[in-house]
Amino acid sequence: MRPRILERISLTDVFMWIVGGAIAALVIVGSIATLESGRYGTRQWLDFIISGLAQGSIYALIALGYTLVYGILRMINFAHSEVFMSGAFTGYFAADALNRSGYLQAQPILGLAAVFAVSMTTSVVVAVLLERIAYRPLRRSPRLVPLITSIGASFFLQYTFRGLYGSQFKAYPEVVALKGSWSFGGVLVIQKVQVLVIVAASLLMFALYLFVQYTRTGKAMRAVSEDKDVAALMGIDVDAIIVRTFILGAALAGAAGVLYALMFRIVQFFMGFIPGIKAFTAAVLGGIGNIPGAMLGGLFLGIFESVGPTLFLDGLGVAAPHQLKDVIAFTMLVLVLIFRPTGILGERLGRAKA
């Protein structure tokens, strides 16, 4: 029995376990040193967590678009990051116009609702055009073909919007109602915009989960995810379900674009690349094709890259640990892919249970 187990273990496996163990040791040593130093109090750690939750909520919304499309078509839609960008960038012009007229400040709820509507509509239109023009003709092609097409579509959209809107950075107007923060006992301080991001993202994610699990369209989506041909034989319009899947993912990306812009207040034609890669990372972490997994992966990644650099690296004497947050995030992705390739939850859309 023991020789058979040894035969299954390759030198690559041994090397990766050594690397994983070394990284785990560094994380433990760094975390202990940081906590023992006492340089960060409870308020600072809570600030890191709240910031990570807000950032992770945006990652989760974008990641749901990746996971929905993969669950239905088994393809990675790398142009989804530009669907996110197109909504946020177009929403800027609506926000700027409403701000110039004074309506955004006088009626912030209705004004923001209008900005969300413009952003989400733009993202939906771009996503539907992508599906109809770029992806549908390649549906029966080898998986590599639509993957390369999605990368090409990503560049096409980037430079199309650069030509339409310019290459300059655009600053979202600051909403007076979202300025400031709320303090709870002087320990927990939450910015109002962070509350908006976390609450809005949570409601959207919960609504999507209920839609997929309990509506006829959601059940049809899960059926198509399991087997398109059998679903078609059962009377399901596969093309219509695929389009609706793109619409759902794009609407969430458009909403995420506005939330992102309200937090960071800067948009430009290349803004979708880093959040898109992070959201794809979140989808893989949670289990690609798994809706709760995408949500969990996004929140986990946001908190991890907010808390991790300080917790792991400050105690090791790294001068600017927060600048290495992307290194930490993608290192975690590599380790997850090595030791659990299916992600944290590992289920696909069609197998999700209510």
Domain membership of residue 307 (yes or no) is: yes
Mean pLDDT of 56-61: 94
For β-strands 170-171 and 266-267, DSSP reports them as: antiparallel
pLDDT of residue 287: 84
Q: What's the CATH code of the domain at 95?
A: 1.10.3470
Domain membership of residue 7 (yes or no) is: no
Separation of alpha carbons 16 and 64, rounded Å:
30
Q: Give per-residue pLDDT as tens, 304-330.
A: 888 888 888 877 777 777 777 888 777
pLDDT of residue 349: 54
pLDDT of residue 74: 87
Contacts of 101 (CB under 8 A, 6+ apart): none
Q: Give per-residue pLDDT as tens, 253-304.
A: 999 999 999 999 899 999 999 999 999 988 888 888 888 888 999 999 999 8
Domain membership of residue 6 (yes or no) is: no
pLDDT of residue 17: 78
List the one residue out of 137, 141, 135, 152 whose CA is nearest residue 82.
152
Domain membership of residue 100 (yes or no) is: yes
Domain count, the chain: 1
Domain membership of residue 13 (yes or no) is: no
Is 129 strand, coil or helix?
helix
pLDDT of residue 352: 45
Separation of alpha carbons 90 and 135, rounded Å:
24
Domain membership of residue 35 (yes or no) is: yes
Q: Phi/psi at 117 (nearest 5 deg)?
A: -60, -45
DSSP for 178-211, please give it: G-SEEEETTTEEEEHHHHHHHHHHHHHHHHHHHH
pLDDT of residue 189: 84
Domain membership of residue 164 (yes or no) is: yes
Q: Give per-residue pLDDT as tens, 209-254.
A: 999 989 999 999 999 988 888 888 888 999 999 999 999 999 999 9
- The single-letter DSSP state of residue 235 is T
Q: Give per-residue pLDDT as tens, 91-129.
A: 999 999 999 999 999 999 999 999 999 999 999 999 999
pLDDT of residue 180: 84
Asked whether 75 and 147 are in contact (CB, 8 A), the reply is: yes
Predicted TM-score (pTM) above 0.95? no
- Parent domain of 35: 26-351
pLDDT at 10 over 90: no
Q: How confident is the model at residue 5 (pLDDT cuts 50, 70, 90)?
A: low
Domain membership of residue 11 (yes or no) is: no
pLDDT of residue 71: 87
pLDDT of residue 185: 74
pLDDT of residue 291: 87
